[in-house]
Amino acid sequence: MSIASVRNLDGQLKRCSINTATLGHREPLRITVDRIARAGFGAIAPWRSEVEAGDVHALSRQIRDAGLSVSGYCRSTYLPALDPEERRANIEANKRALQDAAVLGARCFVMVVGGIPVGSRDLEGARAQVRDGVAELLAVAQDVGVPLALEPLHPVYAANRSVLNSLGQALQWCEALDPHGTGFLGVAIDAYHCWWDPDLGPQIAAAGQARRILAYHVCDWLHDTRDVLLDRGMMGDGVIDLPGLRGQVEAAGYVGPVEVEIFSKDNWWKKDVDDVLSVCAHRLQTVC
């Protein structure tokens, strides 16, 4: 039976990962690690703020000892800036984060590239700055052995979070910056960001063909989203055909972790952390 024909993730919890943002960052990472492992998941995706608040080597050991792999390290410092010194500082911050990603043994470093600098209207200029920054970081990524996963964000974030807004655009950048496919530049496909794209199916196939799919993130888009940043839905509560999407991603050859990433200030972040993990486990195994 091919992976693509598996109808849901029943019994595959070890393949599933929890992005710690899903739990609202309410506890130190060392506690979160244990909760995620105890709930049966096989991987975790921590954030820099919580890793940098502790000792990365100790956290890395703890994660490994708990039986977890690191599906991705979240996330890059935004790259574009009007001030060249600030731009340089952003790149350097990402280089340091890549070192930590290597210590953590992360499958990839998740690149949320940043928006248009405040006061600017130069979208193409910001995109050029990002490409230049990624080109520089790619060399470091190879050195430390952690691939860069360009994550196209939903176009609603084009102004203030990411000028990279579609999978097709991400793949064009990958081809331009890494034409020979070193394995150190690829994409993170997040259902929330990409589900609407009329060109998504062909682009997923192209991403697979080019061996660029480094991560796959799930949550759901609620029909009447109240807040586009912090009102993401639990899988099954929204409009995304998640089994169909995973089928496309796996038909394209992806066999890596399925990572849950839910920002939900007024709902899931208010619920008991273990309950949230339990619901994630259930939904992953029934509706994803």
The footprint of its own copies (CB under 8 A) covers 115-116, 118, 120-123, 127, 154-156, 158-160, 165-166, 168-169, 172, 195-199, 221-225, 228, 238-241
Q: What single-letter DSSP state applies at residue 114?
A: B
- Strand order of the β-sheet with 148-150 is 69-70, 43-45, 16-19, 258-260, 213-218, 185-190, 148-150, 109-111, 73-74
Residue placing its CB nearer to its own copies in the complex, 214 or 222: 222
Shortest separation between residue 122's beta carbon and its own copies, angstroms = 7
Pick the closer one to its own copies by CB: 44 or 111.
111
- The least CB distance from residue 128 to its own copies, in Å, is 12
Element (H, E) at 149: strand 148-150
Q: How far is CA 139 from CA 109, 148, 179, in A?
A: 13, 10, 14
Considering beta carbons, is residue 199 or 275 the nearer one to its own copies? 199
| Least distance in angstroms from the C-beta of 163 to its own copies | 8
The token pair that represents 61 in the structure block: 């050991």
CA distances (Å), 98 to each of 54, 55, 59, in order?
16, 15, 15
Nearer to its own copies, 1 or 118 (CB): 118
Residue type, 14: K
Contact 45, 256 (CB under 8 A): no
**Least separation, in Å, of the C-beta of 269 and its own copies?**
20
- Residue whose CB is less far from its own copies, 115 or 256: 115
Minimum distance, C-beta of residue 242 to its own copies, in the bound complex (Å):
8
